[in-house]
Structures are given as structure tokens and as C-alpha cells.
Amino acid sequence: MFSLNEKCAVVGIFNVSNAAKYAYYSLFSLQHRGQEAAGIASSDGEKIYITKDRGLVTQVFDEKKLKKLIGDSAVGHTRYSTAGEDSVLDAQPIFARYDLGQIAVVHNGNLTNAKEVREKLIKEGAIFQTFMDTENLIHLIARSDKEHLYDRIIDSVKKIEGAYSMIFLSRKKMFAIRDPYGFRPLSMAKLEDGYVVASETCAFDLIGAEYIRDIKPGEMVVFEKDKEPRSIQVFEPNPHKCIFEYIYFARPDSDIFGKSVYDVRVKMGRELAKEYPVEADMVIPVPDSGIAAALGYSKESGIPFEMGIVRNHYVGRTFIEPTQEIRDLKVKMKLNPIKELIEGKRLVVIDDSIVRGTTSKKIVKILKDAGAKEVHMRISSPPTTGPCYYGVDTPTKDELIASSKTIQEIRDFIGANSLAYISIEGLIRSVGDDLSYCMGCFDGNYPVPNKN
């Protein structure tokens, strides 16, 4: 059964005046991780306040709504668009009253035993009012027989499996925790006398917070007034960080898992150039995510980099479909090649991934229509052969073109003159020869089995 926590962002603000405003700005800088819904819960030490709704951060909140979110601590969330339910009920934070008082939770990731846990809880009499995995956590916490929330969180996360970077807000404290694999990122920073926790470091830059370190896989950090943040290593770390954060999700100006996203992407491009060189006139990225890798490919190969495709950023939801077909309209609305530049040229085109292959096919087509002599697709990730169970909204295995077609067949399908994907080894070299990454969607080695 589907869950609704995939590809999101979380933030937490602790001990900073107008915490909700800082949460708001932080979420704004993490908007690229989820445009479906947004929410913030704040605490003034006595009570928890919450606002959440469908829409962009700037649409969900206005001055009046932010003013009601009083207090010095806050957690926030942006949710990624999913095909199914679009109910406001499935926005985060989740808020609940339970035996220890009030609690709000935000969650980035996906539980692989959500169904099992939910069914067990339901069998024990729990009711589920949302379709979010996160609801499981609050039930587990409420049902734990430990005295303190601190122990209950530990108790509860021991019962769940999968990916989670979560922040819990109680009336007086805040708890940030990452699963033992560290699938999804989570960093902490200092802001005035308080602290900020966020999915990406670009959030810190906007509000002027100073990066301290990442929350470690399996670590929980407890934030309490007039105390230093306390760390407890709840689980033995078994790092399997999501390498797709580098390939596609994160903003290039963020540090993820301690490394510059931009820098890693440039290296991917360099590796691609080493592994799959080709004689060509220029390297062009599919903007915006392919830019850094294209620069890397260009640097390594010596083939000039050009911004051969322009992206239109005004694309919204309410676009009107043409009555009579304008060919390839949806891709052309976003991407338009610079004809004069590419006409008669041999292009290396850098994209981050190929999912179903249909978009790549259209990109090759508009480039060839614009006069490109050759189109050599180079992909800065290995072939995506399997779905992700840890919080990325991938289609089913059947829909993934690389699950059933050879690279040659994919090349034929998309119509490129050549096609190459970075090797897993090349990818690992890009991130620094560190083997602590999850690459289940490439190699089928899933560190945690999916039971849903």
C-alpha cells in the first residue's frame, strides 16, 4: 500500500524567537523537495499550534497564519506531489494529543514495515485517520509503557524499519532522529541561542544559521531549553545513504552527507567522460539538474560546455491542454533548445536519469528537430532497474525502462546516436570511494527488505 512521505523535506527550529517564521523560510528554501503540501507546528512551551494545507509554502502561509504559530520552537514539512490522494489530511506535521500531552511529528522517508506495524496496531485497536506512515510512530509512542517521551521514541523506532529522518516536537523539547541506515539526510546548525535541523544545508544559508554537523545514522539528538543538545546513538550505524540525493534531489548549493552536492555532480560528469568518451562539438545539460555533471563532463573531455537547452520556470499546475495536438507540448513547455547553437552540431547531452524513457525520447527529438547532427546521451546515474522503498517516488519495476530493456534497446527507443550510463564504480568514485551508500534501485541490493 502506498504511503505519502516520499521525497519531502523536514525542518526543526528550537529556542529561537518566532520559530515558525524561521521554519517558514527554511521550508521555502526546501520547496524543491515537495510542492504538494506544506505545514508548520509550533510550541510556546504550553501548547502546540499547527497549520497545514495543500500548496506551495508561500501559498499555504500568510502573515496572519504565521502569527498564530507562536512560540520558540517549530517543526515544518513540505510534501512531494503524489498521484493518488490529495487530501489536506495527508499533509504533515501530524499533531496528536496522547498520554504525555501534545506532540507534532514531521517525517522524510518511507517505512518498509509500515503495513505490518499498522496492521498490528489496528489489531490492537488503533485507528488510522491518514495515509501517512508517520501516523504509526505516534501510535507506537502513545502505546509505549516508558515514562518519558525520550525513551518512548527509542522504544518506537525500534519497532519500525525503513527510511526516516524525523523531528518530534513536544511542548518543551524537540527530538531529531535518523534511521540506522541514514537513507535520508538531516543536518543541524546553530542559530542565535538556538538550533536548526533541516533536510538540506541550503536552509541554513537562507536564515543565517551555522552548520554544525549531520545527525548520524541511528542517532537521536535531543533539544532542551538551557541545555546543550544531547546525542544518543540509538542504533549501531549501518550507513546506506541514498545516492540519488546527489544525483537528483538535493539542491547543488547544499551539502549532503557532508559533501557538496555540486562537487559530487561535477565528479560524476568527469567519471562519465572517462568511462564513455565520445567525439562531439559540445556538452549540454538537461537543465537544471544536469548542469553540474555536464560541466564535469566538459572539464574532463575538453569538449566545450554550452547551455543548449533553456528551461521555462513558469510552468504551473493549471496548464491548459491543447485541443489539437501541439506535438511534444509538455516537454517543450519546460525545455527549448537553442537552435542556432546546436544546428549541425554533435551533442553530448547530460541528464541525471532515465525513468520511463519517454521524456528522454522527446528531448532527443526536439534536439534533432532543432538540427543537432548527433545526440549522445550520457546519464549521471546507473540504469534504474528497481524501485526505491525508502522514500523516493519511483514507478513500478515494470515501468522502469532499464528493468526490461538493454542499454542498446533503450538507445533505440529514445533515438539517440549513443547512450551511456555512469557505472556503479564511477558513481562510487564520484562520491569518494565510500561504500556506505544505498544503491538498491541500481543493483537490487536493498539493505532493508520491503514488507509493504
Radius of gyration of the chain (CA): 23
Signed CA dihedral, 105, 110, 112, 118: sign only:
positive
Least distance to a second copy from the beta carbon of 241, Å?
18
Task: Report how far residue 120's alpha carbon sits from residue 129's, in angstroms, rounded to the nearest whole number.
Answer: 16
Q: Does 96 bind a second copy (CB under 8 A)?
A: yes
Least distance to a second copy from the beta carbon of 121, Å?
9
- Count of residues in contact with a second copy, rule CB under 8 A: 85
Nine-digit cell at 83? 498521484
Least distance to a second copy from the beta carbon of 93, Å?
11
Task: Report how far residue 452's alpha carbon sits from residue 180's, in angstroms, rounded to the nearest whole number.
Answer: 19
Grid cell 514539512 is found at: 77
Task: Report how far residue 127's alpha carbon sits from residue 289's, in angstroms, rounded to the nearest whole number.
Answer: 41
Binding mask 258-287 for a second copy (x = CB under 8 A): --x-xx------------------------
Q: Which residues within the stretch 390-419 sit at the binding site for a second copy (CB under 8 A)?
A: none
Grid cell 550505524 is found at: 237
According to CB under 8 A, which one of 46, 87, 210, 412 is a site residue for a second copy? 87
Let me know: does 76 contact 27? Beta carbons within 8 Å: yes
Binding mask 167-206 for a second copy (x = CB under 8 A): -----------------------------------x--xx
Q: Which residues within the stretch 307-346 sit at the binding site for a second copy (CB under 8 A)?
A: 307, 309-310, 312-314, 316, 318-320, 322-324, 326-327, 329, 332-333, 336-341
Alpha carbon distances (Å) from 129 to 82, 94, 122, 141: 18, 10, 11, 16
Measured from the CB atom, the residue of 219 and 245 that comes closer to a second copy is: 245
Measured from the CB atom, the residue of 120 and 397 that comes closer to a second copy is: 120
Q: At 264, which helix (H) or strand (E)? A: helix 261-275
β-pairing, 210-214 with 187-191?
A: antiparallel
Least distance to a second copy from the beta carbon of 3, Å?
13
φ/ψ of residue 312, rounded to 5: -90, 120
Which residues, other chains included, contact 44 with Cβ-Cβ below 8 Å and sequence gap of 6+?
Answer: 70, 71, 72
Binding mask 16-55 for a second copy (x = CB under 8 A): -xx--x--xx--xx-xx-----------------xx-x--
- Segment contacting a second copy by CB under 8 A, of 163-171, 173-181, 249-257, 407-415: 249-257
Measured from the CB atom, the residue of 12 and 285 that comes closer to a second copy is: 285
φ/ψ of residue 91, rounded to 5: -90, 160
Question: Is 242 annotated in the active site?
Answer: no
Q: Which residues within the stretch 123-162 sit at the binding site for a second copy (CB under 8 A)?
A: 123, 125-130, 138-139, 142-143
Residues carrying an active site annotation: 8
